[in-house]
Structures are given as C-alpha cells and as structure tokens.
Amino acid sequence: MSWTRAVRALALVAVAVAAVAGRADPRLREFAGAYPAEATPTGVVRSFTLRAAPTEIPLLDGRPLRVWAYDGRVPGPELRVRVGDRVRVAFTNDLPQPTTIHWHGVRVPNAMDGVPGVTQPPIEPGGTFVYEFTPKDAGTFWFHPHLRSSEQIERGLFGVLVVEDAVPPPWSRDVVWVLDDWLLAPDGQIDPHFNTRHDLMMDGRWGNVVTVNGHTAERLVVRAGERLRLRLLNVANGRVFAPDFGALDAAVIAVDGLYAARPLPPAGFEMAPGNRLDLDVTIPASARGQVFRVVDRFTRQPIPLAEIAVADDAPVATPQFASPATARVPVWEDGARTPPRAEFRLNARQGGRFGIQWTINDVAFDHEEMEHGSHAALPAATPLPAGAWSHLRFTNESYRLHPMHVHGLFFKVLARNGEPVDEPFWRDTVLLHAHDTVDVGTVPLDRGTWMVHCHVLEHAESGMMTLIDVR
Ligand code: C2O
Ligand code: CU
C-alpha cells in the first residue's frame, strides 16, 4: 500500500471511529457541522512572496524607525484569499537571525505550522521556505515568526491573513486594524533590551507608544450610511486591549477568526495578544460630519486608538444583508463537570537563561535546544484523540496575565473559576487573569504535534510552551 493510500485508509478508519463515537457522545453530535474537517478547494492558487528584512519606516512624527519587516512594511502586507484557495507563500529570510512563519489560527497541515524544531528546521539567514496550505475556515488570521518571537514580533514582523467567505457579504468596505504597542528608548528607536527581568516578572513587554496600523492617530474616513467590516487584531507582546466603541453601532460577529453564533455587543471584550475581533459597523445616515472615537479602556488611563470620521457628503445606501454571525457553536452544557483530559498549570520559578522561567506543569520549554533542532529536549506531548471531544483545563497559579493559545484547533470556554459560561463563539486564545482557572472543550480535527503556549511573548520565550499530539 502506498503511503498516501495508507494515510487515506487511516483517515477513513478515523472517520468511522468518529461516527461511532458520535452516536455515543452527545457532545460530538452537538459539534457536528461546526467547522469542516477538510477544506473545500476552489481550485485557485494564490502565490505570494514574502521577505523579512531590517528596514526603516516612518512612525509617530514621521521620524525613521528602524524595524524588522515583511516586505518593508509594518504591519506586513495584508494577504487576502478566499476560503478553499491554495495559498503558497515563498518566503526569504534576510534577517540577521533564523526565523519561521506561523499562521496563527489557521488550521494548516502540521508541517506548515512554522514551529522550529517541532514542525520544521529554523530558516537560517539567507534561507528560504515555501509555506503551502488551503484554508478551511474563513476569517481574520495573522502570521508572525515563531522563533525569538519576543524580539522579532516586537521589531515589526507581523501581517494579516484575511480569508474571505466563499461569497463575502456586500460590506461597503472591509478594514483591518492592527493594534500594537512599542517600547521606544529615549533616542526614539526600539528599546534593544528584550526579555528583561521586568518583562518576565510582569505581563511581558508593554510599550510606551500605542499604534493602530503603525499610526498613533489612525483615522478612517467613511461616508454616512456605509456598513463596514472592521477586523481588529492584537499583535502586542503583552498588552491587552479593551476597545470601547462609544456611540458606534458595532456588533461583534467573529472572534479569533470564526463567526459567532449570533451578533454580540462589543462591551467587555478583552483582546489579549493574538486575539481577533471582527465587527459589523453601520454608520447611520444621520452621522454626516461626525467623528467616532475608539478608545482602549484596559488600563486605568484610557488610550485613544483610532477614529472614524464621517464625511459631510450625502449618505450612501446602507447594504442590507443578514448578519453572517450564525455559526453553529455547541453549548456543551456541563462539559466542565467532566474530568479534564489534560490540565495545564501555569507558574514561574527562578532559573534559566533569563533568571526566571515560566512553566507549564513545572516544565520550562527549552528554546535554545529547539532552535538547534534537538527533539530530545522537547517536553512530552499531551496526547489528544482526533475527532473526539476533550475537556482541557488551564490553571493559573501565578499573579500574572496569561493569554493561552493552542495551535491547530479551536476551543470553547466552558467555565471560568468553576462557574459555567456559555460564550457563543470559538477561540484560539483565552486570557487568564491572576489565579484564574479556565475550562475549555474542543474537538481537534487536525492531526499533528501542536503548540500550547502563552501569547505573552516573554513568558513563552522563557519556557511557557508545551505540546499536544492530536492523533
Ligand atoms: Cu500567534 Cu504560537 O502563536
Ligand atoms: Cu503568560
């Protein structure tokens, strides 16, 4: 039997097993139809080239800021494809360090996940790698290095991958807002001290300048009557945003890529590093000449993020269509009462390269070894059965914030601190505050060895990473 045939036969067995299990497990029946096991290929191939290199961009008052960037831009180029398109990205590393690209939130084949030492060797300076995958899910995703990410992402390496619906609703416009912060030294350049003791002891590196799409005063000019899709993404190393949309008529329609079960009020959403929030915004016909301000309220001092300025021109007709937030999201009532299949305890201790190590179940992930491709140094992966329901628990034994991100699957929050919650949406990243316990349910469909880690990049860099093995 050929290798592909063997794989196909195994896949059929897995489907059969899942079908049998589905009869037994009502949680799987509730899951059916939530998101697909396989892509529906459009037959279209979208080829991109991407080059990471040091460059200079204007920031703030227009002074040149030395950054590392994809294609000379921060944020990097916005890659836009349709769900089911074949995406091919020919990448060149012209950085002074090895790197990789991870496609955050995208269910890619394991070998395309960009985790050095786990799914591919590091891409050395001057090296190239071709990433190729077919997105199975439409939504807002992003890409970033997965090697020394606390330095590489902070220096400007990130970009958005928009996967459009097969038939996108007729929005007046579709806009991406990339939220970030920068820690600038007195000379106006990126503070070159990464993974400091302070960053490690606290919630990572928080900057002294907040930007949206690289600007401190991002302004979107629209016409009255327009209906926008606004895609928000937090690429900061550690900062959490709680965007307040004020008087704007805005509904959350998607979280971490996938559509929600229904449109939701945006109040109270905390956007941790890695999180995305898609909004359906209607500018009333009566709003001519008005300015709507979006402000971050996560910290005590509100931070202006961006404004939407409505032109004085005559209003346009508002596109009329039903909200696409109608996804099938299981409730999984009482799911948190089942025994967890795995628990991830989050804590810190003295030691390691930086003096402090962040740990999962008392193990600190060793990046040095990972970069050198030594599999011996990898922690034992937690096995998760493909196509079956699993209950996972995150327990924060520390006082710090930990946005926990899982590669290769979506999960649903079942309970916080023992209290059942029913979030009508999926996530790939969930924020744990001090001493929080968060229970999640998931049905992993994509086989492979995937990372589980904190998206506070300094925490991840100092060890807060582990692996699951979906099989
Ligand atoms: Cu956005 Cu493993 O990361
Ligand atoms: Cu953390």
Q: How far is the CA of 180 from the centre of ligand 1 (A)?
A: 15
Q: Rounded to two decimals, what is the model's pTM?
A: 0.94
What are the structural domains, with CATH classification, of the chain? 45-164 (2.60.40.420), 173-310 (2.60.40.420), 335-470 (2.60.40.420)
Would you give per-residue pLDDT tens digits along the chain (471 residues)? 444 444 444 444 444 444 544 457 899 999 999 999 999 999 999 999 999 999 999 876 678 999 999 999 999 999 999 999 999 999 999 999 999 999 999 999 999 999 999 999 999 999 999 999 999 999 999 999 999 999 999 999 999 999 999 999 999 999 999 999 999 999 999 999 999 999 999 999 999 999 999 999 899 999 999 999 999 999 999 999 999 999 999 999 999 999 999 999 999 999 999 999 999 999 999 999 999 999 999 999 999 999 999 999 999 999 999 999 999 999 999 999 999 999 999 999 999 999 999 999 999 998 776 666 655 566 789 999 999 999 999 999 999 999 999 999 999 999 999 999 999 999 999 999 999 999 999 999 999 999 999 999 999 999 999 999 999
Instruction: Look up tokens 């290095």; give the residue.
Output: 145
Which ligand has its closest atom nearest to the C-alpha of 257?
1
Q: Please report which ligand is nearest the Cα atom of 397.
A: 2
CA of 468 to the centre of ligand 2 (A): 18
Burial of residue 422 (CB within 10 Å: 0-12, 13-18, 19+) is middle
Please report the atom of ligand 1 found closest to the CA of residue 460.
Answer: 2
Q: How far apart are CA 465 and CA 463, in angstroms?
A: 6
With a 6 Å cutoff on the Cβ, whether 459 touches ligand 1 is no
Compute the distance between CA of residue 429 and CA of residue 348 in angstroms, rounded to an integer. Answer: 20
Ligand 1 near 227 CB (within 6 A): no
CB 25 within 8 Å of CB 19? no
| Ligand 1 pocket member 104 (CB < 6 A) | yes
Distance (Å, whole) CA 113 – CA 425: 23
The answer, yes or no, to whether any atom of ligand 1 lies below 6 A from the CB of 207, is no
